[in-house]
Amino acid sequence: MHHAFAPLAQLGGSQSYMTTFVFFGGMIAIMYFLMIRPQQKQLKDHRTLLAGLKKGDSVVTQGGMIGKIAELSEREVKLEVAQNVKIRILKSAIQTVTPNAEAPKAEDKKEEK
């Protein structure tokens, strides 16, 4: 037997199994709290965001498209990306809802001059 494993050989059989079990149990707990739990929370928040969508909301898609919701269905959204330009996207592709920022109107530009 190699001398590096000598301390393990001195432990009792059940004690070495218990140490291994505790070690792997700890690793699984660490992976859960660092990887799985935050991902589940993020998924829950995204589902809540999608459930709260309504007509007129300004949104950003996962692809970076910015627009205003013109129509909603269970799976799809019609997004107005420019005046009289509407595209269909999957509802799940919406990443965030942004504050409604109105574009400056022509009258506002005249008043600034």
User: Domain residues of the chain, as ranges?
Assistant: 1-51, 55-100
Query: Band of the pLDDT at 34, cuts 50, 70, 90?
Result: very high
Q: Residues near 74 by Cβ (< 8 Å), separated by ≥ 6?
A: 91
- Please state the pTM of the whole predicted model: 0.63
Rounded Cα–Cα distance for residues 77 and 100 (Å) = 17
pLDDT tens digits for 40-90? Answer: 999 999 999 999 999 999 999 999 999 999 999 999 999 999 999 999 999
Q: Which fold has domain 55-100?
A: SH3 type barrels. (2.30.30)
Residue type at position 26: G
- What CA–CA distances, in Å, run from 92 to 14, 61, 63? 51, 9, 12
